């Protein structure tokens, strides 16, 4: 995509053409998933069903009919391993839209970090085949 911008150079205004480049600013690669999850707000025990559709070591996008508000602290209840071990992942809502919310994980323990890395690495390799 090409955009034009006005640049002041030596007292004259000229137009310069520059290409807009999409740069990925994420620290961790992300993978597409279809992972059933349940979300609880930090202030509630009510579990709200959702489907994680995007996962990385930094967070996930959860499709849900009941997204929490921006800034809310939540717990994601998910099974990340073939052993069906349940995990509880603390997170904060970073953005919302009608069909879900973007979550950033709060500091994770070693087991949670390892499980997410194993799953994302496996899915990343499968997507490259």
All domains of the chain, ordered by start, with CATH?
31-128 (2.40.10.220)
Residues 103/57, Cβ–Cβ less than 8 Å: no
pTM: 0.75
Q: Burial code of 62-95, b = ≥16 C-beta within 10 A, e = fewer?
A: bbbeebbeeebebbbbbebeeeeeebebbbbbee
Residues 52-111 have pLDDT tens digits of 999 999 999 999 999 999 999 999 999 987 878 899 999 999 999 999 999 999 999 999
Please tell me the predicted confidence (pLDDT) of residue 24.
46
Stronger pLDDT, 69 or 3, i.e. the higher one? 69
- Where helices occur in the chain by DSSP H, the ranges are 110-128
| Whole-number Å distance between alpha carbons of 38 and 8 | 54
Helix%, strand%, coil% for the chain, nearest 5: 15, 50, 35
Q: What is the pLDDT of residue 95?
A: 95
Cα angle at 56 between 108 and 22, to 5 degrees? Answer: 135
Evaluated on CA atoms 48, 53, 57, 58, the torsion sign reads negative
| DSSP codes of every residue in 43-57 | T----EEEEEEEEET
């Amino acid at each position: 995509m090409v955009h034009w911008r006005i640049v002041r150079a030596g007292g004259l205004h000229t137009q310069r053409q520059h290409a807009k480049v999409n740069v990925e600013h994420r620290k961790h690669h992300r993978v597409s998933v279809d992972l059933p999850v349940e979300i609880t707000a930090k202030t509630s025990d009510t579990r709200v069903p959702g489907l994680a559709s995007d996962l990385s070591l930094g967070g996930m996008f959860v499709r849900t009919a009941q997204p929490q508000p921006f800034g809310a602290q939540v717990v994601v209840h998910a099974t990340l391993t073939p052993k069906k071990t349940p995990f509880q992942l603390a997170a904060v809502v970073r953005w919302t839209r009608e069909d879900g919310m973007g979550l950033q994980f709060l500091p994770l323990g070693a087991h949670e970090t390892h499980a997410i890395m194993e799953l994302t690495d496996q899915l990343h390799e499968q997507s490259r085949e």
